Structure 1
């Protein structure tokens, strides 16, 4: 229900008293203390406001109530008629749907921040309406009880609505499947807040804020200004400041006018809230939180409904919105994946339009494309995001891999992307299943030599790299490593794989990400080869014989100063083993297993779990592919039952393999220091050793001996090296 004039006068008086109190309290404190000292008073002010507007808590005003509200006189002298700046809209609303303000639970810091902004507005004699725009409003609404009732996500294991192996009957344009790795950090609060201004530029308000702080005897805040760049779809000038713990972007409401032949605005001006809302990418991102009134404003008339129904839609006709900024096609996919929303049918049709693909390729920088892709893979539904890119025909634009394919082109890009999606989906689903029935090696977190172990379910960074690796592995396997055309490039840069080139050159991702993804892919191939060669059988023998290599951390300060973090102790069937002289065939076989598995672990390092998951997932995906190629039909449940049995067989093989890796002390081997450094070797053990390849051979021999003789002492190693290289003594 709209506030009447008496309520508004009451709020005005309360706010005046409140700002006076905060001004007095902050007269000799820092910015942080201004926010802190105002927090308690801010809570009382907000509570008094909420008590007055209690009736508007859950239900926005009806159309009759909105029509009965007085027209708000615009103080903005910069604006023109809205009809010319909003293609497809004949008349923009003069009043928004509003409400839900009291339902939003502000933190004390947020309350104090908004109070400070209102103080600046009042003390510097501004008529500005301050509105929080975009994602902050959307996420705050989704956290309220009213909207949460519409978005109960079924977590893994609570209920399965579709068969694990069921294929979609038609291309999916939204939520697909029921598995999602839910973000457990529910208490995280946004630290980036966008403030939209209706009568000035962002840098002008930033100057007023500093003017107020200076007047109060406070330190001013540095202001960063990001200039507009219409050619790259950057239409707004933004002033950025860090106020307390928040990064605030101040920007004016915008209105644009276009020539018929161009999507670059012919005229930019400060607009009304309605004009700005209709120019935003999505209706759910076009909601405003009016800092002055404490209410949420829905100028498009669709934001509340689309947020409630879980729909990603655009305020204007979709093709207009996407051509305005083609990156919005990718943003639509990202929000569908992040929020688990469906995409509006008209938006789907527009995103498939060839003109959108062309504009995305020509108008949007590769950095922005790569950034959106990275955010998709960080979302709760990376599988749905990649599926949408494929079904919207945007995948070739995001991943331009045509250049990297072999000249004969025996494999199409569509086939590679489909295989990548299947492998990504299998990896994601298997990891989701492990939340509820984790295998033994997922429960254990043993590591040696100071290595830090993180399970994939808690390691967001490793999961993100795993999703890249899973989706791109078919491309890696089918594209040759080509020599660099630039003769100045040497070493790794000269022999980068297609995946590394794609990530660095086309998607502008950090080199460290590309190298990590490549390590995961290569190690997963190594693990697959080891298991297929019978290492799973060796692992079973190791477990049955209870062969264990246990790491004991050093407590001796002298050892630590010498770089020795601990030692290894070997046992078999409960008895101590001296690995330097042990000749039991079972032990010897276990050490051969250790030798074979150590090399890929040394190369992949802490990302070994991601590589192993990728190897398991590829085995399961290949198994399912084999079933679909059978010449006869296996009916329904029988198909599922047989496939599930074989999947469990794959999982058990890898469980034994991975548990044996842990039990033989291989986790952390990438951080194991050599027993003898190069100087010691050359001065007291092998004095005649030459430089170059011979020295490298000796160091490699030392590394191999340490792997197969865990816990053996330096004296045994010296004897071995002298017997192996007598010519250098």
Structure 2
């Protein structure tokens, strides 16, 4: 870490010119205290970047400034809280700088930051005051500003009191560092870094040991913790999968309790559940997330089914786990692996709702795929996600049939091209999902959810080859982007060619025309018009 060289001037008159101009001689690199070796093999210590060291120096100066300006107040200390401390100890980068202040509201402290900077002749930034909004899980007033172009949030240390039937605290008061640490969701998120002492503080005395052992546990008794705020069940799963840590048995037992499940259904908004689930599937271990959700019997709560299932059946939650396991295994297949983070997310999301494949529901007297209601109502995904999953599901049966036939007789260029146009930019993603489903249907008892390197590489290779061949056919036909192609003859002209008024018939003519274009890659506009007329005359 860094510290300023000792100065003969009092703290409040300390000039910050060296901080602004990055003069390296004003800082001394000191050996950080180590806190053991984490489960992931990292020697845990807090190494401050140059920018972080500057911020800590400013915060120290502000504490001294307040002591001079407000001698009647207790000593005001700054602590960096939560995720930043955890990630630093684990050797990970974190850009969320949350500063916890004792005995002072965050906004008031932020104003003193600017007063201190002004006293040093340093330009200041505006301060935004974010009022508490319990409905949005913002339980405390927060101030945010920038120091050295780093966004910094300030709030006070606090303790919370909950009432029966609500996850929103009924009372929030100033708290001690210990009280603030114990109110947090899990022990590894309860750590502080004291900018004055340059030490990590573990007031629960469990945070650092749990980083070493790789445990997820709550600072207080888990049942009471979850009853106060059931969302913490979902957060425990997310952090367990994010760091590949084990949830302690008593936590798992509490999470499975009927009262906690009931509270999760009735006290937590679907938006909050959806946000946590999205963080799970975009994290480093999405398969572990699905495994934990299944093991804790939470899938029917997170992916709650529609009230009406008109046809089809809802499959077992294990299907979602197995599907994500196959997806992980397919990452070894160059032709069928996800090629981008966006595609990987789409595949994981689709695999996560595979139990709803083929199930049909009803909405406003309209028959629709049940998965649309699950995504929209249970985890509140956006319309793009709903459309993506719906398109992929819609293509599975067609692609499976086409891939099988292609092994017997090469698929026609127009047939494959029209299906690609139907699925749009998602056509290859849909092929990968179809591969997953066929592998799952063919090997239902395979432990796809285990380490993918432990699965026999010969397993299902014929199935993988079949779908790789379909992708290769599209490449050979040079139609991989045919969903972007425009019609040679627009709808108005097509209607003129056959002598009819524009209307619903134009859709039929355009479909026929694109089929012809795919069958005649070198065809001209004139030939296309002749084909349209011949088609119409033959009707």
TM-score w.r.t. length of structure 2: 0.86
**2:316 aligns to what SS in structure 1?**
helix
Shift of 1:481: 4.0
What is the CA deviation profile of residues 376-431 of structure 1, one whole-angstrom value per residue up to 9, with x for unaligned ones?
Answer: 11122212111211211222221211514348xx85x5x43122222222122222
CA displacement, residues 134-190 of structure 1 (integer Å, 9 cap, x when unaligned): 11111111117xxxxxxxxxxxxxxxxxxxxxxxxxxxxxxxxxxxxxxxxxxxx43
8 Å CA contact 2:16, 2:122 repeated in 1: no
Q: 2:270 aligns with which of 366, 371, 377?
A: 366
1:429 correspondence with 2:329: yes
Instruction: Answer yes or no: is the 8 Å Cα contact 2:83–2:94 preserved in 1.
Output: no
Tell me, which stretches of 5 or more residues in structure 2 are unaligned?
38-42, 448-453
CA-CA distance at 1:16 after TM superposition? 6.5
Task: Give how far 1:244 is off.
Answer: 4.7
SS of the aligned residue for 2:226 comes to helix
Deviation, 1:372, is 0.6
Of the three residues 89, 99, 105, the one matched with 2:47 is 105
Is 1:252 the equivalent of 2:159? Answer: no
Are the aligned partners of 1:213 and 1:220 in contact in 2 as well (CA < 8 Å)?
Answer: no
The answer as to whether partners of 1:224 and 1:241 remain within 8 angstroms in 2 is no
Q: Which of 579, 588, 600 in structure 1 is aligned with 2:419? A: 600
The alignment status of 1:648 with 2:530, answered yes or no, reads no
1:35-55 deviation line (CA, Å, top 9, x unaligned): xx3x445x85352xx25xx5x
Residue of structure 2 in register with 1:499 after alignment? 371
Aligned with 1:514 (options 370, 386, 392): 386
State the TM-score, normalizing by the size of structure 1: 0.65
- Confirm or deny: 8 A CA contact 1:290 1:296 kept in the other structure: yes
| Residue number among 13, 16, 40 corresponding to 1:23 in the alignment | 16
* Mapped partners of 1:57, 1:268: distance in 2: 34
* Residue number in structure 1 paired with 2:450: none
Find the aligned partners of 1:626 and 1:597 in 2 and give their Cα distance: 32
Paired with 1:193 and 1:245, the residues of 2 have a C-alpha distance of 12
Give 1:317 shift: 1.0
In structure 2, the partner of 1:530 is 402
CA gap 1:508/1:681 in 2 versus in 1, 3 angstroms: same
2:198 to 288, 291, 294: 294
**For 1:327-338, what aligned pairs fall within 5 Å after superposition?**
327-338=231-242
Deviation at 1:472, TM superposition (A): 1.1
Alignment partner, residue 613 of structure 1 = 432
The correspondence for 2:474, drawn from 632, 636, 661, is 661
Return closer, same or farther for 1:526/1:46 CA change in 2, 3 Å cut-off: farther
Tell me how far 1:301 sits from its aligned partner. 0.9
SS class of match (1:13) = coil
The answer to whether structure 1 residue 472 and structure 2 residue 465 are counterparts is no
Q: Deviations over 1:622-661 (max 9, x none)?
A: 1112889xxxxxxxxxxx99x8655122122222222112
Query: In the TM superposition, what is the alpha-carbon distance from 1:342 to its structure 2 partner?
Result: 0.7
Give the conservation status (yes or no) of the 8 Å contact 1:232–1:363. Answer: no
**Deviation of 1:286 (Å):** 0.7
* Residue from 661, 673, 677 that aligns with 2:486: 673
> Matches of 2:98 and 2:369 in 1, distance apart?
40
| Equivalent residue for 2:317, pick from 417, 442, 466 | 417
Alpha carbons of structure 1 residues 713 and 656: separation in structure 2 relative to 1, 3 Å? same
- 1:218 aligns to 2:123 (yes or no): yes
What does residue 180 of structure 2 align with? 276
The answer as to 2:4 corresponding to 1:133 is: no
Q: What is the correspondence of 1:548-587 to structure 2 with a 5 Å cutoff?
A: none
Cα offset, 1:122, TM superposition: 3.7
Distance in 1 (CA, whole Å) between partners of 2:14 and 2:392 is 59
The whole-number CA distance in structure 1 between the counterparts of 2:278 and 2:167 is 27
SS at the partner of 2:489? coil
Task: Go from structure 1 to structure 2 and tell me whether the alpha carbon gap of 1:217 and 1:249 turns closer, same or farther (over 3 Å shift).
Answer: closer
Given that residues 191 and 245 in structure 1 are in contact (C-alpha distance below 8 angstroms), is that contact kept between their aligned partners in structure 2?
no
1:456 aligns with 2:338: yes
Within the candidate set 13, 17, 25, 2:6 is matched to 13
Among 267, 273, 294, which residue is 1:390 paired with? 294
Q: Deviations over 1:20-76 (max 9, x none)?
A: 6653458xxxxxxx4xx3x445x85352xx25xx5x34569xxxxxxxxxxxxxxxx
Distance of aligned partners of 1:277 and 1:626 in 2 relative to their CA distance in 1, 3 Å threshold: closer
Q: For residue 27 of structure 2, what is the aligned residue in structure 1? A: 45
Which residue of structure 2 lines up, in the alignment, with residue 305 of structure 1?
209
CA separation of 1:112 and 1:608: change in aligned 2, threshold 3 A: farther
Match of 1:403, SS? coil
Q: Which structure would you say has the larger Rg?
A: 1
Q: Contact 2:320–2:354 (CA<8 Å) still a contact in 1?
A: yes
For 1:277-311, what per-residue CA distance to the aligned partner results, in whole angstroms no more than 9, with x for missing partners?
A: 11111111111112222221111111111111111
Work out which structure has the larger RCO, using CA pairs closer than 8 Å and 6 or more positions apart in sequence: 1
1:123-162 matches, within 5 Å, as 123-125=65-67, 127-143=75-91
Would you say the 8 A contact 2:188–2:216 is kept in 1? yes
**Against the structure 1 CA distance between its residues 597 and 727, is the aligned structure 2 distance closer, same or farther, given a 3 Å change threshold?**
closer
Seen in structure 2, the aligned counterparts of structure 1 residues 208 and 608 have a Cα distance that, compared at 3 Å, is farther
1:355 is aligned to 2:259: yes
SS in 2 for 1:194: strand
Counterparts of 2:125 and 2:113, CA distance in 1: 8
CA distance in 2, matches of 1:261, 1:680: 65
**CA-based RMSD:** 3.2
Could you tell me which of 721, 724, 728 is aligned with 2:532? 721
Shift of 1:258: 5.5
C-alpha separation in 1, matches of 2:538 and 2:440: 52
Separation of aligned partners in 1, 2:51 and 2:8: 18
Contact kept? 1:255, 1:271, Cα under 8 Å: yes
Matches of 2:87 and 2:162 in 1, distance apart? Answer: 32
Picking from 117, 137, 141, the partner of 2:59 is 117
Q: Write the distance in 1 (CA, Å) between the matches of 2:436 and 2:196.
A: 53
Q: 1:473, CA displacement in angstroms?
A: 2.4
Number of the residue aligned with 2:511: 700
How much has 1:217 moved relative to structure 2? 6.3
Q: 1:210, CA displacement in angstroms?
A: 3.7
